[in-house]
Structure 1
């Protein structure tokens, strides 16, 4: 089987590695062009490009997947199937028609729940107990194509979106290989997605990551875990500056207090919410690296009436 792979970030690498390890021929890898780092000076290759070049694979980095020359190049490869994992560009009908049996996407949810850009983050923030990955045939709609296969994964109580996404990337990789094999052999029986239970996972914004302390502690917990590592949960400090926050732990053994009020209690730094307080794990004040919350508290000398977020 001749396969094209399209993907960009770290979570796409396990599927590429699984395809390379399979008996199939990866005829090309498509990924986003090299991008500048946070400081904007140096261009960096995508994790998928780095992995592909390590295996000596041909790598294509079109600025636009709509480019006619790129589409013609893909068509000339005469691939049997194409695998897509978090590529980052819209695939047009003209491009989809270049592959014999279709382009298959690995999506990190149990479709039709959480269609869209941030399925894992939204699942954690919503308090879902079960997540998973789905393979489906890409069509014009957003994550609407018929499903080939699924795999489930329990959402653990302390999972951040990074934790869960890493697990799904690894359990989803063999699912993709199996799905392509079944599709090309004719053994697959893709199932149209139900119109019931559809939900959408919009990309997280900075506003989504702002901690609203008067929400219940379990909602604050889920929000912060869902926004970790990106875009990163944040709050405002007593002086108005911004600080990023790591995951918190609801402190049900402690009395409720004013939402946003921060205080030390033994070896914990607690912040009030709409219900129980939560214990901070780490905090990164503006311009500083992340530090243990207790170390920050000792150095900050704020006093027990200090307030995080809007008063």
Structure 2
């Protein structure tokens, strides 16, 4: 099938690679413009652009996909189908109706749950035990199109968002190929989404990163897992941000103010949550410093039992 691929983020790369390996005719790749990145704010290409260029594919980077010039450039590629994965912009009706097979999307949740920009983060932060990927026909409304296929995946209790992201990206690539095969055979069944069951996974905000020690220990651990490796959950200590990594719940009933450090040893830092249970932290990262195991962190920092963590 002759395809124009629209994608930007790391999540989209396995899908692009799978299309090439399966022998689909990739007419071109559309991705977001290069953006400033890192401390030096140098322009950096999106992951999809790097992958596409390594494959020798033509790359388009319109600032706005709705611009008539961008639409015309895609039309000139004469695609039979548009495939959208983690692209980052809503497509206009003129693109959705451009091709014989339409426009399909790979989304990292079991729709209609977790529509929106951050479905993987939100699933872990909310303590979900299961998620998955969905292929659907794209409509003008965000992530609301008819479902074609879905694939489920268990979220393990200690799984981080980075680990789940990579697993779902692979699952999505396989589901995409299965979906295209069904479409080519005329066997792709459209299943409308149940609007009453729809939830929204909003883009992460800075306040999502701040740990509220009044929450239960499990909620705090879910937040930490859902921010690892990016952007990181943090608290404050001695006037500096302190990122918290690799945490688990330690059952108990500590009678101390939430956020209080009640024990420090080579195994970790034990901090009291809002329900009296413990959050056992195994890795820390002080502002401007490296991420360290607690044992190494304590060699250079005097974080002692009785310390109360939190930001004003």
Query: Which bin holds the TM-score, normalised by the shorter protein?
Result: over 0.9
Cross-structure match for 1:82:
82
| Higher mean displacement: 95-104 or 135-144 | 95-104
Q: Secondary structure at the match of 1:27?
A: strand
Deviation at 1:103, TM superposition (A): 1.2
Cross-structure match for 1:113:
113
TM normalised by structure 1 equals: 0.95
Work out the CA distance in 2 between the residues paired with 1:53 and 1:102: 25
C-alpha spacing 1:94/1:241, structure 2 compared with 1 (3 Å): same
| Higher mean displacement: 252-261 or 71-80 | 252-261
Deviation at 1:278, TM superposition (A): 1.1
Q: CA-atom RMSD, angstroms? A: 1.6
Q: For the Cα contact (< 8 Å) 1:71–1:98, is it kept in 2? A: no
Deviation at 1:263, TM superposition (A): 4.0
Q: For the Cα contact (< 8 Å) 1:150–1:175, is it kept in 2? A: yes
Deviation at 1:256, TM superposition (A): 5.0
Alignment of 1:228-243 (within 5 A): 228-237=228-237, 239-243=238-242
Cross-structure match for 1:175:
175
Q: Secondary structure at the match of 1:26?
A: strand
| Higher mean displacement: 286-295 or 84-93 | 286-295
Gaps of 5+ in 2: none
| Higher mean displacement: 255-264 or 210-219 | 255-264
Cross-structure match for 1:276:
277
Q: Secondary structure at the match of 2:235?
A: strand
Gaps of 5+ in 1: none
Q: Secondary structure at the match of 2:197?
A: coil
Q: For the Cα contact (< 8 Å) 2:264–2:304, is it kept in 1? A: no
Work out the CA distance in 2 between the residues paired with 1:302 and 1:129: 34
| Higher mean displacement: 180-189 or 226-235 | 180-189
Q: Deviations over 1:211-248 (max 9, x none)?
A: 011211111111111122222101111x2221212131
Work out the CA distance in 1 between the residues paired with 2:228 and 2:303: 26
Deviation at 1:22, TM superposition (A): 0.9
Cross-structure match for 1:61:
61
Cross-structure match for 1:138:
138
Cross-structure match for 2:223:
223
